[in-house]
Chains A and B, each alone.
Chain A
Amino acid sequence: MHFDDTREQANFRKRVISWLEETLPGLRKVGKESSEEELSRHWQKLMHDGGWLGLAWPKEFGGQGLSAIEEAIFNEECVRRDAPIPINLLGILLGGPTIIVHGTDAQKKRYLPKILSADEIWCQGFSEPGNGSDLAGLRTRAEKTEGGWRISGQKVWTSSGHLAHKCLLLARTDPSASKHRGITYFLADTSAFDIRPLRMINGEAEFNEMFIDDVFVADEDVLGEVNGGWQVAMTTLTVERNSVAFNLQVWARQALDRLAAEVMEQGLADDTYVLERLGEFEAEVEAIRIGTIRSTSALSAGSQAGVEGSTVKLQWAHAVQNIARFALELGAIDLVLAGAEGSGYWINRYLRARGHSIEGGTDEIQKSIIAERVLGLPRSRL
C-alpha cells in the first residue's frame, strides 16, 4: 500500500496544480463581486471548458475516461486551494453516476453532457414529508398513461430545487407490491413542479419543497426497470454517502485552517487545551482525506462501492460540527453574535453543520447501516 502518486498520477497532479494556480486567482477576483451562486456557476464553466469535469466518466458522453484516482487528485488539489463547489454538484455527484450505471445509451447521451456543462442542473427528489429515513415508504404516485406516467405528490428538503431543471424523482408505481418493490426512478423535468424555497435555520434558502400535481413524464425517462426503482435509488444513496465527504471535505479543512489561524491571532498557541482540541480535529480531518483515498483506490481497483461511505460520512459530519462548536466556544460572545466583525462565518457554519448529521441519511441511519452490514448485527427496522 502506498499513498504517493505513480509517475502518471504525478504528471496528472502537476497539470492540475498548474491549471488551478492559473485559474483560481482570476476566479477569486470575480468572486468578490458576485454571489456564491454565480461563483459556483462560473467555476463549473471554467472546469468544464478546461476538461476537468467528469474525469472518470466515459469519453463518449463528455467525460475524460480516466479513473476515480484522477478525480480524487483533482479534488484534493481543489480542497487545498479552497476552490468553490460547482453549481451542478448534485448532477455531477449523484445524477451522472446513477445514469452511468443504470441508464440506456440514449439516456446517457441525452443527459450526461448537459450535466457537465451545467446546461441542466439537477436535484434529488427522494424525501417526502412523511418519509425521510423510511424512504421506501414514499407516497408520491405515478399512474400509467399513454406513452408515459402522470405523477402527483410532494417532495421536501430538495437541495438546489430552486436552481434545477431536472429531478431524480422516486414515485410509487405499484401500490399493491411490498414497499421496496413498487417504486420507479424517473428523470423528470421540474418545469411543471411548484417549487417553494424553505428558509433554513441560518437564514439561507438552500432547500425547497416541491409540489407535483399530475405532471407527465415520458416512458423513455424511466431510469432502470419500472418497479425496479429501489435498486437504482440504492446506487444514488451509496454514491451520495461515498461522495459527500469526498467532495465536501473542503468544508472541514477550511474550517480547521481558519480556526488554527484564529488561534494564532488570538495568542492562544500555548494554551494546552486549545492545542489538544486542534490536534483532535487535525487527526479527524486527515482521517477523512485518507479514508476517501482508500475507498477511491479500492473502487478503481474494481471493488464495489459499499458501506464505507457511511463511516466517512459520519466522520465528516462530526468533524465539521465539532470544529464550528469549538470555534464559537473559544470566541465567546463576540463570535456568537453573528455578523459582528465578520465573524458571522462561525455561527453560520455551526448552524449549517447541524444539517450534516441529517442530510444524505441521518447519523442514526448510518450507524444502523454499519451495525447491520459491517458488524452483522440483527436489523431492528422493518
Chain B
Amino acid sequence: MTSDPKERLALPRHAALKHRHHGSVLVLPEHAIRLAGSGAEILALCDGERDRRAVHEALAARYPDTDELAVEVDRFLTEMIEMGGLEAVSPGTAAAVSEPK
C-alpha cells in the first residue's frame, strides 16, 4: 500500500475509542482492537481533517527526539486501515466523531 501524505484519515463512522485499566481499545461493530503504546493518541489525531502529513507533524512536535517515528506511525496507520480501524475520507465528507472519553 502506498501512503499518500495528503490522504485524510478518520475512524469509521461506527467506531468508538474506549479506555480501560489494561489500555485503550478501538471498538468496531463486531470487533475490538487493543491499541498498544500511543495507538489511541495517534487515532485521536485522525479526525478526518488532518492528512497523513499533519498527523506526522503533530506527533513529531510532541515527541521530538524519537527516531524512526515517521516509519512506525506510517506502519501503524497502514495496519489500522487494513484492519478496518481507519478509513480514508474523500474531500467533502464530514469528519467522523469519536465518542468522548
Q: Do chains A and B stick together as partners?
A: no
> B-contacting residues of A (Cβ < 8 Å)?
none
